[in-house]
Every structure is written in C-alpha cells, then in structure tokens.
Amino acid sequence: MSASVDFQLQLYRTMVTIRHFEERVKFLFLEGIMPGTIHQYQGQEAVATGVCAALRADDVITSTHRPHGHAIAKGLTVESIMHELFGKTTGCCRGKGGSMHLGDLEKGMVPAIAIVGGGIPVATGIGLAFNMKQEPRVAVCFMGDGATNEGTFHESINMGAIWSLPVVYVIENNLYGASTPISQTAKVAHLADRACAYGILGVTVDGNDVLAVYHAAREAVERARAGDGPTLLEAVTYRITGHSRRDPCLYQPEEERKQALEREPLCRFATALLAAGVDQVVLDAIMAEVDAEIEAAVRSAIAAPDPRPEDALDGVFV
Amino acid sequence: MAHLSIAEALRQGLREEMARDERVFCIGEDIGIPGGWGGAFTVTLGLEQEFRARMIDTPISEAGFFGAALGAALMGLRPVADVQYSDFLFCAMDQIVNQIGVMRYMSGGKVTVPLVMRAPVGATGRGAQHARNPEAIFYGVPGIKIVCPATAYDAKGLLKAAIRDDNPVLMFEHKSLYGSKGARAESGALDASSDIPDDDYIVPIGKGIVRREGGDVTVIANLLMMHRALQAAEELAAEGISAEVIDPRSLVPFDWELVEQSVRKTGYAVVVEEGPRTGGIGADIAATLAERCCDYLLAPVARVASPDIPVPFAPPMEDYYRPDAARITRTVRQLRDALPA
Ligand SMILES: Cc1ncc(C[n+]2csc(CCOP(=O)(O)OP(=O)(O)O)c2C)c(N)n1
Ligand SMILES: [Mg+2]
C-alpha cells in the first residue's frame, strides 16, 4: 500500500500542528500564563495522526489525560483547544473541562477521560450503539500502556470481542505509566499479545512511523466497519517530554532518551518526505502556516473573555 | 525539633513506623520509583532507598492493589495504600466499601483489618476528575475510620495513630497543604508546616482541637477549610465578632463532645466543608447538633459548602466553586444579623 504525496503532506501538517502546538503550550505554561496542569504529546504525534487519518468524520474516539494530540488529529480546531486550555467560554468545553477533558462530540471526540482506563468501557458502548443502530461507524479507544492494567481493560475488550463490536482499541505504548516502566508492570513482551485472551486480533506497530500506524489502523478500522469485530492495536512510541507539568524525567535512562530522540516521529517523517522528493520549501511553508494558526489562537485565547464565576452553575443537567 | 511541611512530616512518619514495625509497608502507584516523584505529591520520596522490599510499586490497578492490601492486612501485615488523587478511590470502591469496611464485622469480630488508605483531595485547577472532596461519601460508609489533617503536626501524628490502629483508616490529605517542593510544587499552596517534636507521638483518632478560642460563634472546619476559617476568624475579630474555630481532625469517630461544648458556649455554629452541600458532612453535623444541644442553639446551624456541581476547570469558576474566607465571614454575619438584638 502506498499513500499519495498529498495525503502524506496532510499527515505531516497534522503532526507539525500537534508538535508546535505542544511546544507553544509548554512555553505558555512555564511562563505562568496558562492555568491548570498539562500532559503533553510530544513524541507520540504519529499515533494520533495515523489512526485518525484512517477514520471518517463521524467515527468517534475516546481519549485520555493526554488528549491534545487526539483532539487536533480528530479535527478540533487549534483555536477551540487553545481557548479551552485558557479556560475561556469560547473553548471546546466552554472552560468547564480544561486540558484533561478536551473534546467535541460534533467532531467525533468524547470529552477526554482522565481516569486511567475510564474510557475503555465508554468506547465499547459507543461501538455497541453503532451496532444496535446499524450505523457503519467505528469507535476508537485511545489508551496508554498503563491503562491496560486496569480492570476495565479486561471487562471492556471482552465485551467488545463477544459482541463483535466495531471498536479499535489503540494502546499508545510509550513505555511508561507516569514514572513506572511498563516492563515492571506487565509480563508480556507485547501488550497486543493480550488480545489472545479475548480471541481477537492483536497487532503491534512502530508507533513512531506514521505510515505504518496509518496502514495498521486502516486495516483494523475496515475490519471493524465490516462487522469483523475489534482489534487490539499497540503502537510503540515514546514520550519525549515530561509526564506532566515540570517533570524532569529522571526515571528515564539517559541512553534510552537519547535513542528515543533519534527515532522521534516528526523528524523521521520529514526526512522520509525529503528523500521521496518533497521540497524543503513545501515543508517550511506548512510549518509557517501552522505557526501562524497557533499564534492567532494564542492571541485570540488571551483576548477572549473569562467565564463569569456563576457560569459554574450551568450545565449540570439538561 | 524540626520544622516540616505535611509531605515531609508524612514521609518521616512512614519512615519511623516502617523502622519500628517490619509489618508496615506501602503500596501504590509511582511511590518508590528511583528518579521518580515519591507518589503524586512527594510523600514517599526516597523511602525506597531504605525499604526497597516494602515500597511496592503497583500497576495502575486500584481495585487490585486496594484488595491486595486488604488480603495482606488479614494476614497480619500493616499496609499503607495510597491513590494519587482521591477521585481514583472510586476505581477501588468495591474493595473499600464492600470488603474493607465490612470484613471484620462479617467475621463476627474475629478478623482485624489494620489497613491505612491515603488520598489527596481538593480542587486545584485540574478539572472535574482530579478535584473531588469525597469525604462525605466515605463518611457514610460504616466500618472505616476517617482522619483529615490540616497541619504537619497532625498529619504525622494521625498517620502514626492510623498505622497502629487495628481498623481500616482512610486519611484525606489536601493537595494545597502538602508543601510539596521542586517540580511537584502546587500553585496556590498554603503553608501548613509545623514544628515536629523529636520524640515519638501520635494524635489520637477521634479527638478534635480548638484552633482559636472565641465566644460568639463556633466555626467547624478541617483540611484547607480550617485555614480559611482561621483567616475568616481574623477578619471577624476586626469587626468585634469572636469566632471559635474547631478542627475535628477526625470525621469517624467524630469528637461530638468538643463541638457540643463550644456550641453551648457560643450558641451559633457554622460548618465549613469543601465538598458539595447536599449530603455533606455539614448536614450531618447540623442534624446531630440539633439532636444533642438544640436548646443552646440561637439559630439553625449554617453550612458553607460547594454548590452541587462537578468541579469546573476555569479559575474564575473554580474559585466560585470552592468556599473561601469571604464566604465564611458573610455566613457568620448573616447568622448573627438574623437574630433580633
Ligand atoms: C484511575 C487512575 N489512576 C491513576 C491516575 C494517575 N495517572 C495519571 S496518568 C497516569 C499514567 C498513565 O499511564 P499510561 O496509561 O501509560 O498513559 P501515559 O501517561 O503514558 O500517556 C497515572 C498513573 C489516573 N489518572 N487515573
Ligand atoms: Mg504510557
């Protein structure tokens, strides 16, 4: 399978958007301008990008405490995300959600679930609804490696399997759950091996190779849409930033970090594109457009009015 | 005598208890990872260097390791299990409510469950799922003692008492009071540090304390709200109202005598809590005071609590959600103004 250059440049644009968005946000956060706490996505861009590129607009994803990349890849605007991070009423959750709960169901993204493992049953239920309503739509559940040790993982994927639900369970294996290496909390060589416990297909893919992720996701999504049930798709990647806030990552061996930086997905994809004959000028132009979009979002977010305190009372019930 | 933050005092308490009793161990996520953080708020930082085999880092499996802690307690060990945010207690709810809370009772009193659970509470700019004050929910679960330290002295003393107690004890700690340092420092944190005696001590579970004496109104508050109540008392003093601030320190068992004594003196009571008003601890305190000392109350017990909403993210909304000193002073004034002079 090969992908057209235009399509690959779309993927590149999404990855650059995520990376530059995250770098800008990190800066705003360290400057003390942005409230709250953040869990960032640098290094994992190929996963959200590759998976979401295999989805249709009306397919639905669930996300985690680390949702910025998923939101961008699923088509939420940079502006609506940035405004949410600043806690503005113009944000995608009207300032009620914040960084860990980004989402917009109209774009096919459930407000992100920051309880580790909490999204796995929800994605399963979304798949159940698609089946019951006989809609040819697919649910994707993004989860971290750490989430695979929650009880919800077992309960949900088993249900997805026995009911042949149109769900793709995507494990972003960045080798750590917070500070704890996955090698210390799981005995299997590949987390996708756990699929055999449910009688479904498990696939492990290089999560820093956006095209590899895209192709694996496309197959899983096609199977799901065709009624052939769920796939457990493990994308092996690395978080090249802190777990949250100002984490210096002292628990990651220096050599491991160094190697991970060499394999990080964005440079790697850029190198591949250049090797395939894409002109650097084209990539530079994409970066410039993306940066302009991000800067505009920062400016408009800072200028946007804060919610009124008593707005807190709205929206509990219909 | 050392001057310590709550995080440091808890760490020292854990260290001393583990050294004193080899049955004591810690179990939780990211608590003993070299190069890590010592749990979400640095409480266990470095303990793995002294007690490698007794700092058990778990997978992200709250139901699993709370249940495992119960099993170990039944076999005579004395586990200290912690979640990174109290919101995740709900992931372990079956083990806590259906197992830990009832095991001794179901056995006809034959088994003991010497188990400590630690959980950080408070709305601190993280959105709805890292923000709860779920004290009231557990207050209504029989079979579990609950303690809530507002100072480093109490944190260490209550933790030691909890570890030596043969019953399950749930300790709520406040994120804004830990005094966590370095990269784990909290924005908007308050100073809750204390002088810690060199000698071994405990703070008995079930005993409250008068934080500030006063004769006009009794303000009952714990954790962060205790500090807000002291602030409010200071402001009220400037207006000529003398507030007595009581920190119950334990919720289960509750020091009713201490509170009743104060209310008999002042005739007015205000209960402050950070969690939602409905089904809150304030409701139970108001009802119990009505039962115990109705004749002494010159007005209904007033409640200061959060509105019945999930915790919003945006700072202006979160500040509106969380009770502060101004809300306490306003409530006290209204309470006294309502009465004919
Ligand atoms: C139920 C629950 N337990 C613990 C946490 C605290 N926590 C937040 S993120 C995290 C690590 C998650 O690891 P993983 O699933 O691998 O995702 P990653 O952070 O690597 O993206 C932990 C323990 C949580 N949010 N929810
Ligand atoms: Mg991970």
- Whether A1 shows a pLDDT value over 70: the answer reads no
A195 vs A214: CA distance, rounded Å: 20
Residue A163 falls inside a structural domain:
yes
- Give, as one character, the DSSP assignment of residue A109: B
- Residue B296's φ and ψ, nearest 5 degrees, are -95, -15
B178-213 pLDDT, tens digit each: 998 888 888 889 999 999 999 999 999 999 999 999
Question: Distance (Å, rounded) from C-alpha A254 to C-alpha B2?
Answer: 36
Q: How confident is the model over A17-68, as pLDDT tens digits? A: 999 999 999 999 999 999 999 999 999 999 999 999 999 999 999 999 999 9
Q: A224-269 pLDDT, tens per residue?
A: 999 999 999 999 999 999 999 889 999 999 999 999 999 999 999 9
ipTM above 0.95, yes or no: yes
Contact A19, A12 (CB under 8 A): no
Ligand 1 centroid vs B61 CA: distance in angstroms? 10
**Residue B339: its pLDDT value, please?**
67
Is residue A318 assigned to a domain? no
Contact (CB<8Å) B59/A149:
yes
Q: In this predicted structure, what is the pLDDT of residue B166?
A: 98
Length in residues, chain B: 341
Output the domain CATH number for residue A259. 3.40.50.970
Which of B184-200 are b and which e, b meaning 16 or more Cβ less than 10 Å from the residue's Cβ?
A: bebeebbebbbebeeee
Give the nearest ligand 1 atom to B30 CA. 23
Ligand nearest to the CA of A148: 1
Q: What is the CA radius of gyration of chain B?
A: 20
How many Cβ atoms are within 10 Å of B296's Cβ, its own excluded?
15
Q: What is the pLDDT of residues B147-166, one digit of tens each?
A: 999 999 999 999 999 999 99
Q: How far is CA B122 from CA A101, B89, B309, in A?
A: 18, 14, 14
Q: What is the A239 CA–ligand 2 centroid distance (Å)?
A: 8
Pocket, ligand 1, Cβ cutoff 6 A: A 65-66, 114-116, 144-147, 174, 176-178, 243; B 29, 60, 62, 84, 88, 91
- Give the nearest partner residue to B317 out of A245, A248, A312, using CB atoms: A312
Contacts of B11 (CB under 8 A, 6+ apart): B38, B42, B43, B44, B45, B46, B47
User: Residue with the nearest Cα to atom 10 of ligand 1?
Assistant: A178
Distance (Å) from the C-alpha of residue B18 to the closest C-alpha of chain A?
23
Task: State how far the Cα of B157 lies from the Cα of B340, in Å rounded to an integer.
Answer: 44
Q: What is the pLDDT of residue B244?
A: 98
**pLDDT exceeds 70 at position B228:** yes
Interface probe, candidates A30, A92, A96, A143, chain B, greatest B C-beta count within 10 A: A96
Tens of pLDDT, residue by residue over A128-174, are 999 999 999 999 999 999 999 999 999 999 999 999 999 999 999 99
Rounded CA separation A141/B155 (Å): 40
Whether A187 has its CB under 8 Å from any CB of chain B: the answer is no
Ligand 2 centroid–CA A66 distance in Å is 10
Please name the helix (run of DSSP H) or strand (run of DSSP E) that holds residue A296, with its range, or none: helix A280-303
How deeply is B163 buried, as exposed, middle or buried, from its count of CB atoms within 10 A (0-12, 13-18, 19+)? buried
- Are the CB atoms for B116 and B171 separated by under 8 Å? yes
Under 8 Å between Cβ of A51 and A217: yes
User: Where does the pLDDT of residue A185 fall: very low under 50, low under 70, confident under 90, or very high at 90 and above?
Assistant: very high
> Using CB atoms within 10 A of its CB, is residue A135 exposed (0-12), middle (13-18) or buried (19+)?
exposed
Active site residue B3: no
Q: Which pLDDT does position B299 carry in this prediction?
A: 95
| B209-338 fold | Rossmann fold (3.40.50)
pLDDT score recorded for residue B186: 86
What does each C-alpha distance from A23 to A27, A43, A79, A240, B338 come to in angstroms?
6, 11, 15, 11, 55
What is the average per-residue pLDDT within A192-218?
Answer: 98
Q: Is the pLDDT of residue B102 over 70?
A: yes
Decide whether B2-196 matches B209-338 in CATH topology.
yes
Does residue A311 sit within a domain? no
Check if the beta carbon of residue B228 is closer than 8 Å to that of residue B323: yes
The residue to mutate among B29, B33, B60, having the most atoms of ligand 1 within 8 angstroms of its beta carbon, is B60
- Interface residue A305 vs chain B (CB under 8 A): no
* Tens-digit pLDDT profile for residues B15-57: 999 999 999 999 999 999 999 999 999 999 999 999 999 999 9
Tally the domains of chain A: 1
| Token output for A116 | 């580790």
In a domain, A316, yes or no: no
- % chain B with pLDDT above 90: 95
B-chain residues near A251 (CB < 8 A): 33-36
If you take atom 17 of ligand 1, which residue's CA is the nearest one?
Answer: A144
Is pTM, for the whole model, over 0.80? Answer: yes
CA distances B17 to A136, B33, B163, B165, Å, are 59, 20, 8, 12
**Residue A114 alpha carbon to ligand 1 centre in Å:** 8
- Which pLDDT score, from 0 to 100, does residue A300 have? 98
Predicted confidence (pLDDT) at residue B340 exceeds the cutoff of 80 = no
Ion ligand 2: residues, Cβ under 5 Å:
A 144-146, 174, 176-177
Mean pLDDT (whole number) for B118-140: 97
In a domain, A207, yes or no: yes
Ordered by start, the domain boundaries in chain B are: 2-196, 209-338
Residue A40: give the domain boundaries: 5-306
The number of the ligand 1 atom at minimal distance from the alpha carbon of A114 is 25
| d(C-alpha B99, C-alpha B88), whole Å | 17
Q: Is residue A312 part of a domain?
A: no
CATH class of B2-196: alpha beta
Rounded to the nearest angstrom, the minimum Cα separation between A140 and chain B is 21
Query: Quick one: pLDDT at residue A81?
Result: 98
Could you report the per-residue pLDDT of A278-300, keeping only the tens digit for each?
999 999 999 999 999 999 999 99
For tokens 């006063």, what's the residue?
B214
Measured CB to CB, residues of chain B less than 8 Å from chain A are: 29-30, 33-37, 57-64, 87-88, 91, 125-130, 183, 307-310, 312-321
In this complex, which of B37, B125, B321 lies closest to A179 when CB atoms are compared?
B37
In whole angstroms, what is the distance from residue B3 CA to residue B152 CA? Answer: 9
